[in-house]
Amino acid sequence: MKPEIPVRSRAMSCFVLRLEGGEPQVLLLKRIGAPLDGEWCQVAGRLEKGEKAWEGVLRELREETGLAPDRFYSGDICEQFYNAFADVITLIPVFVAWIDRPQRVTLNEEHSEYGWFTLEEALTRLPFQSQRQTLQTVWQGFVACEPTQHLAIPLP
């Protein structure tokens, strides 16, 4: 058997978008505790047994922020990176949630604060290049133009 780097995909993430005064914004959360203490991130989490990725990310969105999306999409992209500590290539399917009506963010114990940011502001806060590239792709496909309905996921 040839040596290889394993590929792992057991987490998912979601960029949450809204319009505030006609200007698009993305929600970022500041992490508490290992492994990303103090870093700004999008909503993310691990799958639970029996969940589909889209179900898991909706659960994480509810648990981490208390938000319920008005529109929900497959982001048509996977964030990918090499995890040196685990020696694996990680693939994370990305989802997009639009918040169209006023809702209050309620953080869970995993986060110390949140903010709604412009694209430029968010790009200066995200710690990893793969996150920044993914956000730019999401922005292009879901803010700069209307997303194709083929990516829409009906809300339960």
**CATH classification at residue 17:** 3.90.79.10
Looking at the domain assignment, is residue 2 inside a domain? no
Residue 38: which domain range?
A: 7-151
- Kindly report, residue by residue over 45-71, the tens digit of the pLDDT: 999 999 999 999 999 999 999 999 999
The residue among 92, 100, 106, 105 whose CA lies nearest residue 138 is: 92
Looking at the domain assignment, is residue 124 inside a domain? yes
List strand residue ranges (DSSP E) for the chain, in order: 7-8, 11-20, 23-31, 40-41, 43-46, 71-83, 88-99, 111-117
3-state secondary structure of 124: helix
Number of domains making up the chain:
1
Does residue 3 have a pLDDT over 90? no
Looking at the domain assignment, is residue 71 inside a domain? yes
- Kindly report, residue by residue over 83-115, the tens digit of the pLDDT: 999 999 999 999 999 999 999 999 999 999 999
Looking at the domain assignment, is residue 1 inside a domain? no
pLDDT attached to residue 128: 95
